[in-house]
Structure 1
Amino acid sequence: MPVLGAVVADSYWGKYKTVLIGLSVSVVGLAMVTTSATLPSLRPPQFAPATIGQEVVFFSGIYLCAVGIGASKAVFISFAAEQFDDDAQNVLEREAKASYFSLYYAVANMAMLTAGTLLVWVEDKVSWGLGYGVCASFAAVAVVALTTTAPMYRVRPPVGSPSKGLLQVLVAFSHKLNLTVPDDATELYEEDDVQNPVRERLQHTDQFRFLDKAATVTDEDDKDQDGNRPWRLCTVTQVEELKTLLRLIPIWLTAAVYFIANTQAQTTFVQQGTKMDSQIPAASLTSVQTVCGAACVMAYNRAVAMSASRRLRPLQLMGLGHATAAVSVAMAACTEARRLRVAWDRGAPPMGIAWLLPQYIVMAVSDVALSVGQLEFFYDESPEMMRGASTAFYFMSISLGNLINSQLVTLVASVTAAGGRTGWFPPQLDDGHLDYYFVLVVAVTVVNFAVFVALAKKYTPRRVR
């Protein structure tokens, strides 16, 4: 849904309208869920199956929430970032925008922590309807606030379908495969009279020069003045937008692989905690990561403000995230190896769950650095026509990373248990070797970090005319 919402925002509705409509849809969905949990006629009796009507109301509300919130949340990030001035000379505005991405991360995580603790307690101990009603009220307040404060926002109109422009470059390139690209980049085609002043024009770069054939002017292009010309001759800006996307995709893939390590905090780290001595649920340690992440954001912004030092660039933040993720999982491997030795010693008391705190704290630093850096980097570097989709890349990388991790676990469990062996993931964790899996994840993360460093060193930033 973040991807679909971003496409609609960039191509048709614009970011403000997409956010407003998305949140309005979520209000309707939350109201339906609240009604389903409140009215006796819509609540199935205890230990009895729900009727068709009860299921329709409940699941319709759930899916409307998914559509509305999912389609608007990525667009909201880029819409808020547009309120800052992108002028390279305005240092204060650039610093404020960088702080916005980190503060967004901190507030969003604290909101999820509140939802997973306070609201869950209200729903479990007081009333499901009250808990859902609070959520619906918050969403309604957000819609009213966005509507009443509309005049104060910088609202940019959509710049057109990003897929159409990229497809035109590929089609024009296919028509001119045998052409030779001119040595002088000024001979390439670019519109002097820009009809759309909102869309920025990009400077030519030497990377992927073969794509410049799409902007090479031929005699046929001069004669062709009908509607087919955009599919035979593209501007330098269009070509550079495709080049930018080609440069971003490999870095995005490394971010997706990163989440193989990051997702251990919600999965295998919790499994470790279930086998340790503790008076608290092991899953509650994820709250420690959330709080530490928010504290890291505040401390980092405060340190930059006090020292007036230069803020880390987005790629540097992402590199820090990659490196510290490997450190966190390596710490988990050492802790698990020690836990297994204690578990195999039948007379020794179990390890305390506090042993897991260091790896959660380091993973919090990693998550903050990678997430904030990625949000800022993809927003700044994405073409103007893909600003909404740029923040959707972040949510896509999380989803893809979790998917890869689940497939990796399935593969490792199958291979290590072949031939009747116990394997690394037996039903009883003490009989397996979760520490070996952590070592495998560290190896994958280190290789991924090396690939990221190589890509970051060769990355050519986009330049606006």
Structure 2
Amino acid sequence: MDGTVHNSAYGDDPESTSVSSRTKKGGWRTFPFTIASVAGISIAFGGLLTNLIVYLIQEFNIKSISAAKIFNVFNGCTTMLPIAGAIIADSFLGCYSVIWISSLISSLGMLLLVLTAAIRKLRPPQCENGSNLCKYPSEVQFAVLYISLALASIGMAGTRFTIGPMGANQFDKPKHQRTFFDWYIFAMYIATGISSTVIVYIEDSVSWALGFGICLAANILGLAIFLAGSGFYRHLKPQGSPFVGLARVIVAAFRKRTMRFSLKSEDYCQGPDVADYKEALFPTKFFRFLNRAALKAEGDTKEDGSIKKPWKLCTVQNVEDLKSIIKIVPLWLTGFFLSTPLVIEGSLSILQALAMDRHLGDHFKIPAGSILLFTLIATCITLFLLDRFLFPFWEKFTGHPITPLQRVGIGHLFNILGIAVLALVEAKRLKIVRLHRLQDQDNAVAPISVLWLVPPLAISGIGEAFFFPGQIDFYYQEFPATLKSTSTAAVALYMGISFYLGNTVIDLVRRTTGWLPDDINKGRLDNVYWLVGVLGGLNFCYYLVCASCYRYQNVEVVKVTNDDSAE
């Protein structure tokens, strides 16, 4: 990179008035409130999401593949919509208001879901799984179900990822912010693990209404804890939509497309923050045509030097903020096929579990929805080992900390490996199915322990411990200061899109092959896993190219001379 004019990603925030005012509140005293809130919200989310496929199959008589697709749609909405919540937080309401309003919305959705489980008329008559005589839900029953899932999805989307940047905003030091993100993911996964075991067991063995009721209570408790810490938070005031500023750069650059570039920094609009720098800022060479947006022309400024025509003149910082977003886009695109294998694995492994022996001893049967617990456990253990042992050792051995992109790259490899091992396990399961001729029976359970799924799911969990915190840290660091909430929501956005890509892959496979029938004993699920594994491998190659070309922008403020920057 030729040079950067960005403020440190962990430095002064334009939403705050001064460093002294920032230090009056925030810090580690806010940590118990934010992390406990994350835990409560994640327990609610996990208890609802983890067992949703089983609920749709057993209580709503929906076919297995259709249930998996509904699961992916719901999960996709929950992970795509955070970008909307982040934009609202950055532009208008702030993180605090978005979080508590969203919690109320998700509570309403979960209340409706509790009613679907508690009121018999809101569900179709119960029947044996796989029977052709099963009655499909009525339009009213579907409407109540979808409204409850929609409200829960919208509400959870506004809380789970918005609370991340708000928690990080409470700290000034990069090390503390990185530590917060690690514990943020740790708390999220531990809470989801609790819901995947305790709540799922209650849903399967005691009552769906009671299980969903506990989810509702956890969500309300998380909201109460969050509100209890209100007096300690830094409430950063939104400064209006930062996206308008980015759009102005494009418009201004186009309107001045015939102007000649200048080699003098004083010919470029510096803005009100120029006093924070020892010398005037000069735009970088990257996407050089955008620099015209900051070139001053006659009539662009007022007598006091302020901008008179904001759609014709922008500051150098505005220009560089847009450039920073453009530089991140190629890496952001790699997230689609990093998350898509996880999406397919997460939904189809539950169908595998339903077709395997889930007994532990004579009296206990592992709920199919709890199988993903092994991914969560592996992630949490790995996060602890990374934070306490492996990363300190890396820093001591190499002399510098591991970079976010290195961390994400390692996660890529574990992700591909986990899919490959899962394909091998499925091939073994299908071999046993054919050996016992179970493919001729509807939805037969193969005599192979569900614990065979533990190694591949654990490998995927190790990968998640590397790339999820690494991605959040990377985007939080590299996004402009006015887009901190949007930065972490960008991770959620491509995760959400990946759920729809997962559905697209499933649809294509079902249309073009016989690999994925409703009864997976009659298909070749292992080939599906190999397919997404190959896609993941190609995506990893693309990631390596993008990561090797990328230069970190917001690590520190770098000043360059006019001779170095101008052509």
State the TM-score, normalizing by the size of structure 2. Answer: 0.69
Q: Specify whether residues 221 and 409 from structure 1 end up closer, same or farther in structure 2 by C-alpha distance, changes over 3 A only.
A: same
Q: Which residue of structure 1 lines up, in the alignment, with residue 423 of structure 2? A: 333
Measured in 1, the distance between the counterparts of 2:182 and 2:282 equals 29
1:79 to 142, 154, 166: 166
Q: Which residue of structure 2 lines up, in the alignment, with residue 181 of structure 1? A: 261
1:240 to 295, 320, 323: 320
Measured in 2, the distance between the counterparts of 1:365 and 1:115 equals 20
1:283-313 Cα distance to aligned partner (Å, 9 max, x none): 4321111111111111211215864745422
CA contact (8 A) 1:189 1:217 kept: yes
1:99 to 162, 174, 179: 179
Measured in 2, the distance between the counterparts of 1:438 and 1:29 equals 34
**Matched position secondary structure for 2:335:** helix
Q: Specify whether residues 84 and 227 from structure 1 end up closer, same or farther in structure 2 by C-alpha distance, changes over 3 A only.
A: closer
**Matched position secondary structure for 1:230:** coil
Q: Which moves more between the two structures, 45-54 or 437-446?
A: 45-54
2:399 aligned with 1:315: no
Measured in 1, the distance between the counterparts of 2:512 and 2:140 equals 46
Measured in 2, the distance between the counterparts of 1:446 and 1:184 equals 47
**Matched position secondary structure for 1:111:** helix
Q: Specify whether residues 145 and 221 from structure 1 end up closer, same or farther in structure 2 by C-alpha distance, changes over 3 A only.
A: same
1:164-184 Cα distance to aligned partner (Å, 9 max, x none): 111111110110222333345
Equivalences for residues 355-366 of structure 1 within 5 A: 355-366=452-463
1:263 to 339, 343, 360: 343
Measured in 2, the distance between the counterparts of 1:384 and 1:322 equals 28
Measured in 1, the distance between the counterparts of 2:149 and 2:433 equals 43
Q: Specify whether residues 57 and 227 from structure 1 end up closer, same or farther in structure 2 by C-alpha distance, changes over 3 A only.
A: farther
Q: Which residue of structure 1 lines up, in the alignment, with residue 157 of structure 2? A: 70
CA contact (8 A) 1:172 1:234 kept: yes
Equivalences for residues 6-25 of structure 1 within 5 A: 6-25=86-105
* 1:9 Cα deviation after fit: 0.8
- Structure 2: which amino acid aligns with 1:69? M
CA contact (8 A) 1:110 1:291 kept: yes
Equivalences for residues 50-449 of structure 1 within 5 A: 63-85=150-172, 93-122=173-202, 130-183=210-263, 187-192=267-272, 204-221=283-300, 229-279=309-359, 280-304=366-390, 307=393, 309=396, 311-345=401-435, 351-416=448-513, 423-426=514-517, 429-449=520-540
Q: Which residue of structure 2 lines up, in the alignment, with residue 456 of structure 1? A: 547
Measured in 2, the distance between the counterparts of 1:210 and 1:412 equals 44
- Structure 2: gaps of 5 or more residues: 1-80, 126-135, 360-365, 439-445, 558-567
CA contact (8 A) 1:34 1:129 kept: yes
1:64-112 Cα distance to aligned partner (Å, 9 max, x none): 4443332232211110010111xxxxxxx32232122122112112222
- Structure 1: which amino acid aligns with 2:170? Q
Q: Which moves more between the two structures, 130-139 or 322-331?
A: 130-139
Measured in 2, the distance between the counterparts of 1:450 and 1:358 equals 25
Measured in 1, the distance between the counterparts of 2:358 and 2:124 equals 34
1:349-380 Cα distance to aligned partner (Å, 9 max, x none): 95544333221111111122121111111111
Measured in 2, the distance between the counterparts of 1:442 and 1:450 equals 13
* 1:26 Cα deviation after fit: 4.0
- Structure 1: which amino acid aligns with 2:291? D
* 1:321 Cα deviation after fit: 1.3
* 1:33 Cα deviation after fit: 6.1
Equivalences for residues 27-38 of structure 1 within 5 A: 27=107
Q: Specify whether residues 234 and 425 from structure 1 end up closer, same or farther in structure 2 by C-alpha distance, changes over 3 A only.
A: same
Q: Specify whether residues 13 and 47 from structure 1 end up closer, same or farther in structure 2 by C-alpha distance, changes over 3 A only.
A: closer
* 1:232 Cα deviation after fit: 0.5
Q: Which moves more between the two structures, 345-354 or 204-213?
A: 345-354
- Structure 1: gaps of 5 or more residues: 86-92, 417-422
- Structure 2: which amino acid aligns with 1:312? I
* 1:343 Cα deviation after fit: 4.4
CA contact (8 A) 2:412 2:463 kept: yes
Q: Which residue of structure 1 lines up, in the alignment, with residue 562 of structure 2? A: none
Measured in 2, the distance between the counterparts of 1:212 and 1:2 equals 32
Q: Specify whether residues 136 and 173 from structure 1 end up closer, same or farther in structure 2 by C-alpha distance, changes over 3 A only.
A: same
**Matched position secondary structure for 1:229:** coil
State the TM-score, normalizing by the size of structure 1. Answer: 0.82
Q: Specify whether residues 302 and 425 from structure 1 end up closer, same or farther in structure 2 by C-alpha distance, changes over 3 A only.
A: same
Measured in 2, the distance between the counterparts of 1:124 and 1:270 equals 14
Q: Higher relative contact order at CA 8 Å, sep ≥6: structure 1 or structure 2?
A: 2
* 1:254 Cα deviation after fit: 0.7
1:366-424 Cα distance to aligned partner (Å, 9 max, x none): 122121111111111111221111121222122111211221222233233xxxxxx33
Comparing both structures, which one devotes a greater share of its residues to helix? 1
Q: Specify whether residues 36 and 391 from structure 1 end up closer, same or farther in structure 2 by C-alpha distance, changes over 3 A only.
A: same
2:5 aligned with 1:5: no
Q: Specify whether residues 460 and 159 from structure 1 end up closer, same or farther in structure 2 by C-alpha distance, changes over 3 A only.
A: farther
1:16-73 Cα distance to aligned partner (Å, 9 max, x none): 22223333444555567668877xxx87488799999999998876654443332232
Measured in 1, the distance between the counterparts of 2:450 and 2:138 equals 44
Measured in 2, the distance between the counterparts of 1:317 and 1:114 equals 27
Q: Specify whether residues 146 and 459 from structure 1 end up closer, same or farther in structure 2 by C-alpha distance, changes over 3 A only.
A: same
Measured in 2, the distance between the counterparts of 1:402 and 1:112 equals 19
* 1:145 Cα deviation after fit: 3.1
Q: Which moves more between the two structures, 388-397 or 146-155?
A: 146-155
CA contact (8 A) 2:419 2:533 kept: yes
